[in-house]
């Protein structure tokens, strides 16, 4: 369970790479003792400079390519997040430009080494090496904007949430202060791990629980599924699309006590929006704080849900009431899929 971008390196910009390569080339040339006549020595020394510059630059650029996952290799959830955070198309274009630079510089290296080997004039040999330096520097300048872009993207992507994509995931939704975090703690029996969504004002809460040797993942996404769609910006809407690749079940929480600060009418309206947004998902709706809520308010919500063909469960997360029944319902819905995953993994390992 890792952030796919955690190994993405800090990316040097064009001037930094050029300076590093040229200094390394001069150091190599100074330590080298060529043999033969003046022309032969000039050829050896300038070929060494050309190859050193090429190797240093290509090694730095290849490190970026080798330690950055390709867009098409990412799971759908992370592809959506990538597009949300840094623009998937631009990211792919930037990596492609680096790959182009690596190949072009390698071609130039071979071309100029061949010219150096056929030249008989030490001055011409030095001029060829300088010309090579200039062309390589120009290539790096051409991709510098992409290098800057990837460096900024790295700063964002290294903070991507670490979520186990192999586990069935339950997404908790509902207005702020209805008891989502409390429910998460009750379900997972542990202090949730806090990871960061760069596009929300708060961190995503992640917890897991185990039942009959199977593990389940529960997440709460503050700032995403806690207010009407009309109030969300484009980035948040895209983030919700990412959740659709991750979630297998929605637990929606009502607070009929209204101590959360939102009247029942607002809570009903938000539920309808989320229910439409995630229409293809199974829902478990819970009425929290029923130990302190007015019975009339509880029945009002239950009637509202019945009219829409949605069953509900009364709980009091703070006191742990109704949690075991909720967990049983979660497992009943998700367990068949989880068992299928475990079965398939065992079959693959046995082949």
Q: Same structural domain for residues 177 and 151?
A: no
Q: Is residue 152 part of a domain?
A: yes
d(CA 312, CA 271): 13
Residue 222, pLDDT > 70, answer: no
CA distances from 69 to 6, 8, 145, 308 (A): 10, 8, 20, 44
**Residues 136, 206 within the same domain:** no
Residue 171 phi/psi, 5-degree rounding, is: -105, 130
pLDDT at 29 over 90: yes
Q: Residue 203 pLDDT > 70, yes or no?
A: no
The larger pLDDT score, comparing residue 339 to residue 274, is at 274
Of 102, 136, 157, which one is at a domain's C-terminal end? 157
Higher pLDDT, 260 or 214: 260
Q: Is the pLDDT of residue 58 over 80?
A: yes
H-assigned helices in the chain: 14-31, 38-66, 76-86, 88-118, 122-142, 144-157, 180-188, 234-246, 264-277, 295-306, 323-350
Same domain, 199 and 344: yes
207, 332: one domain:
yes
Residue 8 lies in a domain: no
Query: Domain check: are 207 and 91 in the same one?
Result: no
Radius of gyration over alpha carbons of the chain, in Å? Answer: 29
Rounded to two decimals, the pTM is 0.68
* Sign of the four-CA dihedral 119, 125, 128, 132: positive
In a domain, 284, yes or no: yes
Q: What is the pLDDT of residue 322?
A: 95
If one compares 117 and 207, the residue with the highest pLDDT of the two is: 117
Q: Domain check: are 194 and 144 in the same one? A: no
The pairing of beta strand 169-173 with beta strand 247-254 = parallel
Q: What is the pLDDT of residue 224?
A: 60
Residue 333 CA: distances (Å) to CA of 169, 215, 250 = 12, 14, 11
Residue 9 has which token pair? 């390196």
3 part of a folded domain:
no
Span 188-208, average pLDDT: 57
pLDDT (0 to 100) of residue 193: 52
| Predicted confidence band of residue 168 (pLDDT cuts 50, 70, 90) | confident
Mean pLDDT, all residues of the chain: 85
pLDDT digits (tens, 9 = 90+) for 32-44: 888 999 999 999 9
pLDDT of residue 338: 62
pLDDT at 53: 97
Q: Looking at residue 70, which CATH number applies to its domain?
A: 1.20.120.1190
- Cα 329–335–336 angle (5° rounding)? 120
pLDDT of residue 106: 98
Burial zone of 258 (CB within 10 Å; 0-12 exposed, 13-18 middle, 19+ buried): middle
DSSP, collapsed to helix, strand or coil, labels residue 171 as: strand
Residue-level pLDDT at 119: 95
Give the per-residue pLDDT at 188: 85
The fraction of the chain above a pLDDT of 70, given in percent, is 84
Of 65-74, 157-166, 186-195, 199-208, give the lowest mean pLDDT range. Answer: 199-208
Give the residue, 16 or 228, on which the prediction is more confident. Answer: 16
Beta bridge partners, 170, equal: 218, 249
Angle of helix 144-157 relative to helix 122-142, nearest 10 degrees, comes to 50
Give the domain extent around 338.
Answer: 169-350
27-36, 189-198, 294-303: segment of lowest average pLDDT = 189-198
The pLDDT tens digits of the residues spanning 297-343 come to: 999 999 999 998 888 999 999 999 999 999 899 988 887 766 655 55
Question: What is the pLDDT, as a whole number, of residue 312?
Answer: 93
Q: Which of 19-33, 55-69, 73-87, 131-145 has the lowest mean pLDDT?
A: 73-87
215 bridge partner residues: 210
- Three-state SS at 215: strand
Query: Tokens for 258?
Result: 């209204």
Residue 164: the pLDDT is 76
Whether the pLDDT of residue 268 is over 90: the answer is yes
Domain count, the chain: 2
- Asked whether residue 193 falls in the same domain as residue 148, the answer is no
Could you tell me which residue, 250 or 134, shows the higher pLDDT? 134
Judged against a pLDDT cut of 60, whether residue 199 lies above it is answered with no
User: Rounded CA gap, 313 and 317, in Å?
Assistant: 12
Task: Yes or no: say if 331 and 216 are a contact pair by the CB < 8 Å rule.
Answer: yes
Q: Which token pair is 298?
A: 């509880």
Q: Which residue has the higher pLDDT, 199 or 9?
A: 9
Considering the domain architecture, whether residues 205 and 128 belong to the same structural domain is answered as no
CATH number at residue 197: 3.40.50.300
- DSSP-derived 3-state class of residue 133: helix
Find the mean pLDDT for residues 40-58.
Answer: 96
d(CA 284, CA 210): 19
For 79-138, the pLDDT digits (tens) are: 877 877 788 889 999 999 999 999 999 999 999 999 999 999 999 999 999 999 999 999
Report the DSSP pairing between strands 203-211 and 193-196.
antiparallel
Helix axes 76-86, 88-118, angle to 10 degrees: 80
pLDDT at 182: 87
């Amino acid at each position: 369970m890792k952030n796919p971008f955690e190994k993405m390196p800090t990316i040097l910009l064009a001037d930094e790479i050029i300076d590093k390569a040229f200094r390394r080339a001069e150091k190599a040339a100074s330590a080298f003792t060529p043999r033969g006549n003046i022309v032969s020595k000039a050829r050896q020394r300038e070929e060494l400079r050309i190859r050193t510059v090429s190797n240093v630059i290509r090694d730095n650029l290849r490190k970026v390519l080798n330690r950055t996952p390709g867009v098409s290799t990412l799971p759908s959830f992370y592809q959506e997040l990538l597009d949300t955070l840094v623009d998937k198309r631009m990211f792919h274009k930037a990596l492609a430009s680096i790959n182009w630079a690596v190949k072009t510089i390698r071609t130039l290296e071979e071309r100029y080494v061949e010219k150096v080997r056929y030249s008989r004039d030490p001055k011409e040999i030095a001029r060829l090496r300088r010309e090579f330096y200039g062309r390589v520097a120009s290539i790096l300048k051409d991709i510098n904007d992409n290098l800057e872009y990837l460096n900024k993207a790295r700063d964002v992507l290294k903070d991507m949430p670490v979520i186990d994509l192999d586990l069935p995931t339950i997404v908790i939704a509902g207005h702020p202060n209805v008891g989502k975090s409390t429910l998460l703690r009750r379900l997972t029996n542990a202090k949730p791990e806090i990871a960061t969504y760069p596009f929300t004002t708060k961190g995503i809460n992640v917890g897991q629980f185990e039942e009959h040797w199977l593990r389940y993942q529960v997440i709460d996404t503050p700032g995403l599924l806690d207010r009407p769609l009309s109030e969300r910006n484009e980035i948040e809407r895209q983030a919700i699309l990412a959740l659709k690749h991750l979630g297998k079940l929605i637990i929606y929480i009502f607070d009929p006590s209204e101590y959360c600060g939102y009247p029942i009418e607002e809570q009903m309206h938000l539920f309808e929006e989320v229910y439409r947004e995630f229409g293809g998902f199974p829902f478990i709706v819970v009425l929290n704080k029923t130990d302190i809520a007015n019975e009339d308010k509880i029945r009002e919500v239950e009637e509202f849900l019945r009219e829409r063909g949605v069953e509900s469960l009364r709980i009091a997360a703070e006191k742990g009431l109704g949690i075991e029944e909720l967990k049983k319902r979660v497992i009943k819905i998700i367990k068949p899929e989880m068992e299928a995953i475990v079965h398939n993994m065992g079959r693959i390992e046995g082949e």
